[in-house]
Chains A and B, each alone.
Chain A
Amino acid sequence: MSMISVDNLNVWFGNGRDRVDAVKGATFAVKRGDSFGLVGESGSGKSTILRAITGLAPDWSGKITVDGQVISGRREKTFYKKVQMVFQDPYASLHPRHSVDQVLGETLQLHGFTDIDVRVVKLLDDVGLGAKFRFRYPHQLSGGQRQRVAIARALAPEPEILLLDEPTSALDVSVQAEILNLLADLRVEHGLTYLMVSHDLSVVGHMCDQLAVMKDGEIVEIMDVASLRAMKATHPYSKHLLEASV
């Protein structure tokens, strides 16, 4: 059974004359424990799909199913215990005046954990930071360390699904390798399902089993990584994208 299934998803912003259709008729499914990539240029609607799943895009139609449950309206707390998101820019997604301890502690408290002290240390260990980073503020961390904190925060409610919105595009290549390795390890350890957005085909090729190529709000092609590596894209746009990234 698929962990996430999206059926004929439409997302739009604005009304009437100003209406912009950001996602048009997107359909795909992600199996439990799999890693699925969404690629395409900026404005193609790939991040909007993630936002629609988490409830950050208010206007959408179609059917989204997460672990067998159809999603509609306001998300329940149990939904966020299952699905968590890591954002693109670690410089913007952490509160500048909250220490790492506060960031993680608040998330844990909101999800009803009582053994917060033990869990904060455990989370920091999981993402390879260690307890000495616990009382630091974001400005005392490098870009890669901040992204690790953002990943720790996403892992706090012990989710089954991580939505990754360009998790490494704000980082240097040397740091990107560390974060991608960390994400790969965490997926194995915690049995996570990933839905990952990236504009970099080689990152998706490294991380994912399957991917969808998007253009102008539509999914033009869904293929597995083996055919991506063999350069066997069928749609002219995905061919173009492949050629541009080799």
Chain B
Amino acid sequence: MTLLDVENLWVKFPSRHGVFDAVRGVSFTLGKERLGIVGESGSGKSLTGRSILRLIRPPGIMTADQISLDGEDLMKKSLKDMRAVRGQKISMVMQDPKFSLNPVMTIGAQIMEAYQLHNSAGKKVAYDKAIEMLEAVSIRDPERVMRAYPHEMSGGMGQRIMIAMMLIPNPEILIADEPTSALDVSVQRQVLDIMDNLVKERGMGLIFISHDLNLVADFCDRVLIMYAGRIVEVCDANKLREAKHPYTQGLLNSLPRLGEPCARLKVLQRDPEWSEAPSVSGRI
């Protein structure tokens, strides 16, 4: 079943030297699956995630033939109607909890606000829901955390709080933009497992944006590989190692491996043709 269908998405930024195309004709669908988007910085992966929620600010321009969610075209919605979609139907976990939580609001107030905004519920219900959600992301001692401010939390806790806040309105789709790259390796796995369980339990679709190929290969079902604003390759995550596109192979080869020592790492040789070639469709 298709939850989301994106067709021919473009994001452009006008500049002094003409229009810069940051995302160029990207198409993909999302079912009840974990879809990974990988690429280097500047490949347009984050912008793709943000444009699904229509979060591209002027002067940025975004166009698409359609972005349909449950048969409704998000491109045709007014800004006011979009606000009902954001959070409730599609929500987004950002990269760094330090910059995405409100520093002057207690964590409790922020999570309760997220719940009350989308459900007409009293304070008591919202409080209980928030505690329940914090427990679901394995935060010990949730009552204390509810009273605390973001600066009192570690990075891993902050990221789990973000996930709790984004999942409390029970969205259909979760977009996670590098949710673990600010975290340690040992905490990374834990946060991912929590997210994975919640996504599975609720039958949500997940878009997982990351630059970490190994993580995506482990964690996702399907992967879109982006280069210079285009999708250059689509493959099943467990077959990422057998990827055919020279760019994907180059990225994989440039990683140092513990098991295979070598004197020099292979450096990615870029081919200008990659950015000229048309975008591969990620639609099923």
- Taking Cβ atoms with an 8 Å cutoff, the residues of A that contact B are 41-43, 143, 172-178, 180-181, 184, 199-203, 205-206, 225, 228-229, 240-241, 244-246
Contacts and interface: CB of A to CB of B under 8 A. Distances in A.
A173 B264 CA distance: 14
B186 to A, nearest CB: 5
Given A173-B211, A229-B259, A245-B258, A178 B185 contact: no
Given A42-B155, A177-B267, 7 more contacts: A172-B41, A173-B211, A173-B255, A174-B40, A174-B254, A177-B266, A205-B256
B256 A180 contact: yes
Contacts of B154: 43
B254 A240 contact: no
A245 B185 contact: yes
A222 B120 CA distance: 57
A177 B257 contact: no
The 10 closest A-B pairs by CB, nearest first: A206-B256, A177-B254, A41-B184, A177-B265, A174-B268, A172-B40, A202-B256, A205-B258, A244-B185, A202-B258
Contacts of B250: 174
Contacts of B125: none
Interface string B16-49: 0000000000000000000000001100000000
Interface of B: 40-41, 154-155, 184-189, 211-213, 250-251, 254-259, 261-268
Contacts of B184: 41-42, 199
A129 to B, nearest CB: 15
B233 to A, nearest CB: 15
Contacts of A241: 185-186
Given A201-B258, A228-B258, A178 B251 contact: no
Contacts of A225: 261
A202 B211 contact: no
B193 to A, nearest CB: 12
Contact of B255 (A181, A184, A202): A202
A175 B156 CA distance: 27
A176 B256 CA distance: 9
Nearest to B265: A177
A181 B264 contact: yes
Contacts of A178: 267
Contacts of A176: 254
A228 B188 CA distance: 21
26 contacts: A41-B184, A41-B186, A41-B187, A143-B41, A172-B40, A172-B211, A173-B212, A173-B213, A173-B251, A174-B40, A175-B40, A177-B255, A177-B266, A177-B268, A181-B264, A181-B265, A181-B267, A199-B185, A202-B255, A202-B256, A202-B258, A205-B258, A206-B261, A206-B262, A244-B185, A244-B189
A143 B42 CA distance: 11
A180 B265 contact: yes
A241 B189 CA distance: 11
A41 B185 contact: yes
Contact of A229 (B251, B261, B266): B261
Nearest to B259: A229
Contacts of B265: 177, 180-181, 206
Contacts of B41: 143, 172
Contacts of B256: 177, 180, 202-203, 205-206
Contacts of A173: 40, 211-213, 251, 254-255
A41 B250 CA distance: 28
Contacts of A206: 256, 261-262, 265
Contact of A205 (B211, B212, B261, B267): B261
A175 B268 CA distance: 8
A229 B263 CA distance: 15
A3 to B, nearest CB: 23
Nearest to B154: A43
A143 B41 CA distance: 10
A246 B186 CA distance: 12
Contacts of A200: 185
B188 to A, nearest CB: 8
Nearest to A174: B268
A42 B156 CA distance: 11
B210 to A, nearest CB: 11
Contacts of B262: 206
B259 A184 contact: no
A240 B189 CA distance: 12
B155 to A, nearest CB: 7
A119 B90 CA distance: 55
